[in-house]
Amino acid sequence: MSKGLRSWVQANWVDIANPKKSGGFPKCGRSGGETRKNYPKCVPAAKARSMSASQRRSAVSRKQKAERKTRQDKKPNYART
């Protein structure tokens, strides 16, 4: 698989901040009117599978900390995975 913008966009992105009760993760993004407990932390599904539970918790924690900061210019807050 070539590394490039096309493969990045076509990757299966999942939300690791809101795991499903049946296992796995929901797709990244929200459909109309949907609410989730936590702000989404999106990573490719392959990356999510390769992360340990503690690594996922840590990544979600960093995202939540970044979201608490105020945004000056409406850009999304980036948190390292």
Q: Quick check: helix, strand or coil at residue 41? A: coil
Q: 């210019």: which residue's tokens? A: 73
Walking along the chain (81 residues) 10 residues at a time, the average pLDDT comes out as: 80 92 89 79 93 94 85 76 75
Q: What is the pLDDT of residue 50?
A: 95
Pick from 12, 34, 35: nearest CA to 25? 12
Q: With beta carbons less than 8 A apart as the criterion, state whether 42 and 28 touch.
A: yes
Q: Where are the beta strands (DSSP E) in the chain?
A: 13-15, 42-44
Q: What is the pLDDT of residue 2?
A: 61
What one-character DSSP code corresponds to residue 63?
H
